[in-house]
Amino acid sequence: MINGESKIARLRWGMIGGGRTGQVGYKHRTGALRDGTYQLVCGAFDLDVERGREFGVNIGVASDRCYADYKELIAKETARPDGVEVVSIATPNFTHFEITKAFLEAGLHVICEKPLFFTVAECEEVRKIAEAKGLIVGVTYGFTGHPLVEQMAMMVKKGMLGDIRIVDLQYTHGFNAGDDTNASEAQKWRTNPKTSGPTFVLGDIGTHLYYLSEVVLPHLKIDKLLCDRKAFIPTREPLEDHATVLMHYDNGARGHLWVSSVDAGNMRSHRYRFVGSKASLEWTDSFPNQLSYEVQGEPVKILHHGMPYLEDETNAIDRMGALHTEGLGDSWANIYLWIAQAIDAKKRGDEAFLKTHRYPGIEAGTEGVRWLENCVRSADAGAVWVDFK
Ligand code: NAI
């Protein structure tokens, strides 16, 4: 069980974006600041410089360390003996590559939002820089720190489901069911290929589904996929506000995934069902403290977080204990802790630890972008089957 005791040196941490109006910034701070593993020392929080400075001061950052932009932050912080060591990038997608590269080149670790970049080639370029510099790139797939996600992975690993046959993934909501006439800033950049990248909902929410399925089923690889995407609001073309993806895995399993931001009225967030030859698991982010374990021919079992019947690995990352609700902030805290542990191991040169340590890093970010590239290749050829590459 995690109780906030930190066994690694506190990291000096900064943020790019995630300011007063940013949607995701507080999730980063909730995760990073939970265990005292990170200390927020600086930031370039906002495109609006004065608003960003005022915001930074209000959350406890010294005014002279709230910078106008990431370039000033790099210049000033790398000149300080107590300068920042790691930054989180919580800005729109089109800025991720440029900002990540600049920080790595300046010798700083990076934690970046998903979808990581626009292309696999960019991911590979960044991976080389990070390797050459001995730096970590973390990616905030924030839902995969829930203990019951670990439980699903352990149950699959122990063969409790039998052979995996069906992978059923859904992340849909209706927040973009209307047109974009009065779109927020966050909606405007998401529906423009110049700022969002080659996808809208596939990258925005589909990458969460894909990464979580990789965590639970690390032994399964996609052989081929078919993606059908559509913009129900035509001004969003060539991007999609809705997509369906069929996947064939290398063990013969079949996967289907749908993502949508026009699923009017749906407030159920995301849902995962993994079906094996003996049993199935179903978990949803709406009720993250419960996992449905369904053995063919037996009554359904609902497993609860924090209980002694769960795997040791599951309870090792529990924070609140049974009966007490855990939520997204706890999941993000685990993600940030795992990334801090990776940074600490990198600093100590402990490559053996890094080989077995689970955290969403550059590989996870790259695989998400690779999946998107394959989806777009299929969809734009008319929703045809393509070999996954
Ligand atoms: P947003 O549009 O709500 O906020 C962006 C923030 O970044 C604003 O504060 C803006 O002023 C600032 N900003 C933009 N460009 C900047 C720059 N060059 N330098 C400094 N600040 C800059 O966007 P939102 O929804 O917060 O998304 C940001 C990123 O987070 C996206 O990549 C998105 O895909 C990802 N995201 C991830 C989530 C997750 O669960 N991991 C959830 C929501 C978003």
Supply the residue whose CA is at minimum distance from atom 11 of ligand 1: 46
Do 253 and 176 belong together in one domain? yes
Do 41 and 184 belong together in one domain? no
Whole-angstrom Cα distance, residue 41 to residue 208? Answer: 29
Do 217 and 285 belong together in one domain? yes
* Cβ–ligand 1 contact at 16 (below 6 Å): yes
Residue 298 located in a structural domain: yes
Do 196 and 128 belong together in one domain? no
Do 220 and 249 belong together in one domain? yes
Q: Which residue has the tokens 């969809």?
A: 379
% of the chain with per-residue pLDDT over 90: 99
Q: Is pLDDT at 7 greater than 90 in this prediction?
A: no
* Cβ–ligand 1 contact at 360 (below 6 Å): no
Do 153 and 178 belong together in one domain? yes
Task: Name the residue among 254, 162, 245, 148 with its Cα closest to residue 206.
Answer: 245
Query: Is the distance from CB of 152 to CB of 311 less than 8 angstroms?
Result: no
Residue 257 located in a structural domain: yes
CA distances from 213 to 198, 199, 260, 303 (A): 22, 20, 18, 19
Q: Which two tokens stand for residue 165?
A: 């046959």
Supply the residue whose CA is at minimum distance from atom 15 of ligand 1: 91
Give the domain extent around 209.
146-320+367-387
Residue 2 located in a structural domain: no
Do 272 and 348 belong together in one domain? no
Q: Give the number of domains in the chain.
A: 2
pLDDT band (50, 70, 90) for residue 283: very high
Whole-angstrom Cα distance, residue 352 to residue 259? Answer: 37
Q: Ligand 1 centroid to 113 CA: how many Å?
A: 8
Determine the pLDDT at residue 334: 98
Query: Is the distance from CB of 31 to CB of 333 less than 8 angstroms?
Result: yes
| CATH, residue 193 | 3.30.360.10
- 205-221 average pLDDT score: 98
The dihedrals phi and psi of 244, each to the nearest 5 degrees, come to -125, 135
Edge-to-edge strand ranges of the sheet holding 38-44: 38-44, 11-17, 86-90, 109-112, 137-139
Determine the pLDDT at residue 61: 98
For 214-273, what is each residue's pLDDT tens digit? 999 999 999 999 999 999 999 999 999 999 999 999 999 999 999 999 999 999 999 999
Residue 160 located in a structural domain: yes
Q: Ligand 1 centroid to 40 CA: how many Å?
A: 18
- 165-186 average pLDDT score: 97
Of 113, 140, 143, which is best to mutate to test ligand 1, by the most ligand atoms within 8 angstroms of its C-beta? 113
Do 105 and 241 belong together in one domain? no
Q: Which two tokens stand for residue 377?
A: 């290749």
The dihedrals phi and psi of 372, each to the nearest 5 degrees, come to -65, -45
Do 354 and 373 belong together in one domain? no
- 182-208 average pLDDT score: 97
Buried b / exposed e across 95-128, counting CB within 10 Å, b at 16+? bbbebbbbbbebebbbbbbbbbbbbbebbeebbe
- 319-324 average pLDDT score: 98
Please enumerate in sequence order all residues whose Cβ is within 8 A of that of 287, keeping only pairs 6 or more positions apart, or say none: none
In the beta sheet, which residues pair with residue 304?
A: 290
Determine the pLDDT at residue 268: 94
pLDDT band (50, 70, 90) for residue 280: very high
- SS3 call for 229: strand
With a threshold of 0.85, tell me whether the complex ipTM lies above it: yes
Do 67 and 138 belong together in one domain? yes
For 35-82, what is each residue's pLDDT tens digit? 999 999 999 999 999 999 999 999 999 999 999 999 999 999 999 999
Edge-to-edge strand ranges of the sheet holding 242-249: 301-304, 290-295, 279-284, 270-276, 164-172, 254-260, 242-249, 222-230, 385-387
Mean pLDDT of all residues belonging to the chain: 98
* Cβ–ligand 1 contact at 164 (below 6 Å): no
Determine the pLDDT at residue 192: 97
Q: Ligand 1 centroid to 296 CA: how many Å?
A: 44
Q: Ligand 1 centroid to 18 CA: how many Å?
A: 6
Residue 325 located in a structural domain: no
Residue 326 located in a structural domain: no
Q: Ligand 1 centroid to 24 CA: how many Å?
A: 6
| CATH, residue 43 | 3.40.50.720
Residue 307 located in a structural domain: yes
* Cβ–ligand 1 contact at 23 (below 6 Å): yes
Do 175 and 294 belong together in one domain? yes
For 115-160, what is each residue's pLDDT tens digit? 999 999 999 999 999 999 999 999 999 999 999 999 999 999 999 9
The minimum-distance atom of ligand 1 relative to the CA of 48 is: 11
Q: How far is CA 5 from the centre of its chain?
A: 25
- 315-331 average pLDDT score: 98
Q: Ligand 1 centroid to 25 CA: how many Å?
A: 7
Task: Name the residue among 222, 221, 242 with its Cα closest to residue 231.
Answer: 242
Residue 4 located in a structural domain: no
Q: How far is CA 2 from the centre of its chain?
A: 21
Q: Is pLDDT at 6 greater than 90 in this prediction?
A: no
Supply the residue whose CA is at minimum distance from atom 4 of ligand 1: 22
Do 247 and 285 belong together in one domain? yes
- SS3 call for 231: coil
Of 15, 21, 23, 269, which is best to mutate to test ligand 1, by the most ligand atoms within 8 angstroms of its C-beta? 23
